[in-house]
Structure 1
């Protein structure tokens, strides 16, 4: 007892033997192949024996290395298991959720107070990012993703399917040409999503196709930026109804034409398999689903209520 153990060198030994290659061990440890080779060299110098010999396919354990590899490998696996249990115990009453900034700002965050009232013992952390989070590698418990629901290796629960609606500044619409049909929107500047696809698909759904004006206009990578540009009178934005509800209700925006269009894409609650066995996460996911299923007034109704 009390000996200073070369843990990094022992970990390099364990992972190299597990993967049968220095490169595989380096990837598992998140270091360079050179760093692994150096740690193996230090360990071999300490015990005055070779632990691996090279083959055409990688490396293999020597007789000396094979005698102790399994016990050392099990020791590191037990340490990792113990750390996971410790982190799970400390995080048992917390939930980290990741979603895109527009959804976080317009739908999730305004409702979190209700969840806190129901479950004051559970701490919710929100990460707003457009990047696709890897639940296997990041300390994120649940992601709310917008897509078709095909997420291999993960559990996906349908949450909601918002509709696309055209919105603009009331002043812009009052001063511009009258809009009676979807094609009439082309008389105005169109505010585009980053892929310039929403307007094209929406207009095509109503029989308008091939007009070069469809893909012109400023482009934004987040719905809330589209909404701000529309509020500033820069054009008509085609956004998901849940994002523009507050602005329409307050009179900052008007619905240019009552032709909501449901897309095939929807929002999904995505977790690792069996992750919802954690009580805190199970309660949060259950709450998300209930909030999404709660009866909602239409955007037009909201506007009338404000008036």
Structure 2
């Protein structure tokens, strides 16, 4: 029959009290009361059927048995700490698999990932383009990028950008005889839609623009396709300022109006809460946040 080990909480209390020779200091270290430490020590002494401490004139001393036991436990606790440090250090290296919607991957992550790799050569990044359904996170994925309102259960979700929606088009489209002086001029142009026509409908209602048929124009399954169509002069996209940044900076797209509507949805960096302290995930998260800060500046 397997031998029972003493309760771990009692061992922790004894090791701390023996190291400090003080129940009060041990209690402070363990974030418990002095009475709780005293109770744990008493339980351990009863378990072992021997005294571990002597109390002399308000001074706490170890018995001979207590001193020998402490010296052995000290090495065991050090070995536990070393094993934990080794595991966490290992977690900061190796491979990290990042799953992301295709548009976020191509428009935002892929152009920057070489920076992460140069700063962290010990971490091999693997990017997987996936369309998610209701925050689905599989075991083979370390970090995922979700798009939504951040209301997913069972995951740690950190918002990346605040995003704004505004009409965008190719600069050549402005030179083709159909003006875009105000929002009502949109009725003379083809509207390009991302996944559904609901976004254009919401945007126009917010700015009280009537008389525009949102049921015309092609619908694309991914944001990057909408932006590409707009850059080719095929119509007006209701662009996401985060994803459209490469096209805007390169001059392939322009923003004809000042009106912007903050999106109720955003991109979130997501991981399993049990893995969020792994070194490689922490490193990637900090890098992502630094990139977002640079964008916002």
Q: TM-score range by the shorter chain?
A: 0.5 to 0.7
Name the one with the larger helix percent. 1
Matches within 5 A, 1:69-218: 93-132=94-133, 134-135=136-137, 137-209=138-210, 211=211, 213-218=213-218
**Using the alignment, how far apart are the partners of 2:168 and 2:96 within structure 1?**
35
Larger Rg: 1 or 2?
A: 2
Q: Show structure 2 runs of 5+ residues with no match.
A: 1-86
Cα 1:165/1:212, change in 2 over 3 Å = closer
- 1:236 equivalent in structure 2: 236
- 1:278 equivalent in structure 2: 278
**For residues 72-104 of structure 1, what are the alpha-carbon distances to aligned partners after superposition, in whole Å with 9 as ceiling and x for unaligned?**
xxxxxxxxxxxxxx9xx7995211111111111
Cα 1:127/1:276, change in 2 over 3 Å = same
Cα deviation, residue 138, structure 1 = 3.6
Matched residue count: 209
**For residues 134-180 of structure 1, what are the alpha-carbon distances to aligned partners after superposition, in whole Å with 9 as ceiling and x for unaligned?**
32x44001111110000111111111122112111212222233223
Moved more, 108-117 or 253-262: 253-262
**Using the alignment, how far apart are the partners of 1:171 and 1:294 within structure 2?**
30
**Using the alignment, how far apart are the partners of 1:90 and 1:279 within structure 2?**
5
Cα 1:295/1:252, change in 2 over 3 Å = closer
Query: Contact 1:183 / 1:203 at 8 angstroms: preserved in 2?
Result: no
Cα deviation, residue 198, structure 1 = 1.4
Length-normalised TM-score, structure 1: 0.63
**Using the alignment, how far apart are the partners of 2:276 and 2:158 within structure 1?**
12
**Using the alignment, how far apart are the partners of 1:286 and 1:91 within structure 2?**
13
**Using the alignment, how far apart are the partners of 1:107 and 1:99 within structure 2?**
10
**For residues 176-227 of structure 1, what are the alpha-carbon distances to aligned partners after superposition, in whole Å with 9 as ceiling and x for unaligned?**
3322332321210101111211111111110124x36123110101111111
Cα 1:289/1:120, change in 2 over 3 Å = same
Moved more, 238-247 or 213-222: 238-247
Cα 1:289/1:170, change in 2 over 3 Å = same
Could you say what secondary structure the match of 1:192 adopts? strand
Cα deviation, residue 131, structure 1 = 3.3
Query: Contact 1:192 / 1:215 at 8 angstroms: preserved in 2?
Result: no
- 1:265 equivalent in structure 2: 265
**For residues 207-256 of structure 1, what are the alpha-carbon distances to aligned partners after superposition, in whole Å with 9 as ceiling and x for unaligned?**
124x3612311010111111121122211111111222222222222222
**For residues 35-88 of structure 1, what are the alpha-carbon distances to aligned partners after superposition, in whole Å with 9 as ceiling and x for unaligned?**
xxxxxxxxxxxxxxxxxxxxxxxxxxxxxxxxxxxxxxxxxxxxxxxxxxx9xx
- 2:256 equivalent in structure 1: 256
Query: Contact 1:107 / 1:243 at 8 angstroms: preserved in 2?
Result: yes
Could you say what secondary structure the match of 1:213 adopts? coil
Moved more, 178-187 or 231-240: 178-187
**Using the alignment, how far apart are the partners of 1:279 and 1:160 within structure 2?**
23
Q: Show structure 1 runs of 5+ residues with no match.
A: 1-85, 298-307
Runs (4+) off by over 6 Å:
none
